[in-house]
Structure 1
Amino acid sequence: MLLILLGVLILHLVILILLIVSTAANAWSVGGDKNKDLWYSCLTTNGGYQCLPASNEDWIQAVQALMILSSLFCFFSLIAFVYQLFRMVKGGRFYFTAIFQVLASLFVMCGAIIYTVMSPDDKFYTDFGYAYVLAWVAFPLCLISGLIYIVLRKK
């Protein structure tokens, strides 16, 4: 049982790191010497690095908010898991933790979908970057983790 709890805890920490990196990294859209993320649009010219704030469009602000919410809910889920691990009666299930984790999963999915649909077709940004991919990787892991918490019992 201890190994299962340790494995779930490590999975949760990995998901939290993925969400934080995908929210903060400057690589949601890449192309040549340009990088674009949720916060800045950066350009490398003549050895210099110039960043401008992201646009004030509603969709990018929605993605920013959803990614921050997903990171916060994942963190709160981790705190709830540790709290329930030590305070819950034997045989209890981690429903509260599972709800927070599933909500984090839904938030990251909605944020990534909005970014996919609404990101402009700019000829300079040809590919989605690693931060975008990390967000999509965090989504199923977060959902699976939430489902594990629903099934998991304290023994």
Structure 2
Amino acid sequence: MLVVLIGTVILHLLDLILLLISTSVSAWRTFNSKSYDLWYDCIAKNGKYECQDAGNAAWLQAVQGLMILATIFCLLSLIIFIWQLFTMNKGGRFFFTAIFQILSSLFVMSGAIIYTVMRPEDQDDGHLFGFAFVLAWLAFPLTLISGLIYIILRKKE
């Protein structure tokens, strides 16, 4: 049972790290020396980065909000899990933790879908999705699996 708990906590921490990186790193979309983010559009010139705000488009603000919510819900889910681990009766299930984790996965999925569909129109064949975008999509199934594990998991002595 201890191995399952440790594995679940490691998976949860991995989810949280993926969400933090994908929300904060400037690499959702790249083109040569330019990188586009949820927050800034940057270009590398002479070894220095020059950044400007990404814009005020409503869809971009929705993606920003959803990614922040996903990260917050994942962190709250971890805190609730640790709290339930020490206070819950024997045989209880981690439903409250599972709800927060599944909501986190739905938020990250919604944000990634919105970004996929509504990305800026200035793209041509040279634009590629960056690693932060890939990490956001990778965080979705891992967070969902983690939430489903919490539904199945029971506390034992």
User: Is the 1:73–1:103 contact (alpha carbons within 8 Å) kept by the matching residues of 2?
Assistant: yes
Q: Which runs of 5+ in 1 are unaligned?
A: none
Change (3 A) 1:107 1:125: farther
Amino acid at match of 1:104: S
Q: Which residue of 1 aligns with 2:35?
A: 35
Structure 1 residues 35, 129: CA separation in 2 closer, same or farther (over 3 Å shift)?
Answer: same
- The answer as to whether partners of 1:31 and 1:124 remain within 8 angstroms in 2 is no
Partners of 1:48 and 1:39 lie apart in 2 by: 18
**CA RMSD of superposed structures (Å):** 1.0
User: 2:145 corresponds to which residue?
Assistant: 144
Identity of aligned residues (%): 62
- CA contact 1:34–1:125 (8 Å) conserved in 2: no
Mapped partners of 1:148, 1:47: distance in 2: 45
Distance 2:94 2:120 in 1: 41
Aligned-partner SS, 2:91: coil
Post-superposition Cα deviations, 1:43-79, rounded to whole Å, max 9, x if no partner, equal 1123331000111000000000000000000000000
What is the match of residue 92 of structure 2? 92
Question: Which residue of structure 2 lines up, in the alignment, with residue 21 of structure 1?
Answer: 21
TM-score of the superposition, structure 1-length normalised? 0.97
The AA in structure 2 aligned to 1:82 is: I
SS of alignment partner, residue 113 of structure 1: helix
> 1:125 Cα deviation (Å)?
5.9
Q: What is the rounded CA distance, in whole Å, between the counterparts of 2:12 and 2:125 in structure 1?
A: 36
Following TM superposition, where does structure 1 have runs of at least 4 consecutive aligned residues deviating by more than 3 angstroms? Answer: none
C-alpha distance in 2 between matches for 1:62 and 1:103? 16
CA-to-aligned-CA distance 1:17-60 (integer Å, 9 cap, x gap): 00000000000000101000000000112333100011100000
CA distance in 1, matches of 2:82, 2:129: 35
Aligned mates of 1:17, 1:136 — CA distance in 2: 13
Tell me, which stretches of 5 or more residues in structure 2 are unaligned?
Answer: none
With over 3 angstroms needed to count, the CA separation of the structure-2 counterparts of 1:9 and 1:132, relative to structure 1, is same
d(CA) in 1 for partners of 2:48, 2:110? 35
Aligned 8 A contact 1:18 1:135 in 2: yes
Distance 2:94 2:73 in 1: 15
User: TM-score, normalized by length of structure 2?
Assistant: 0.96
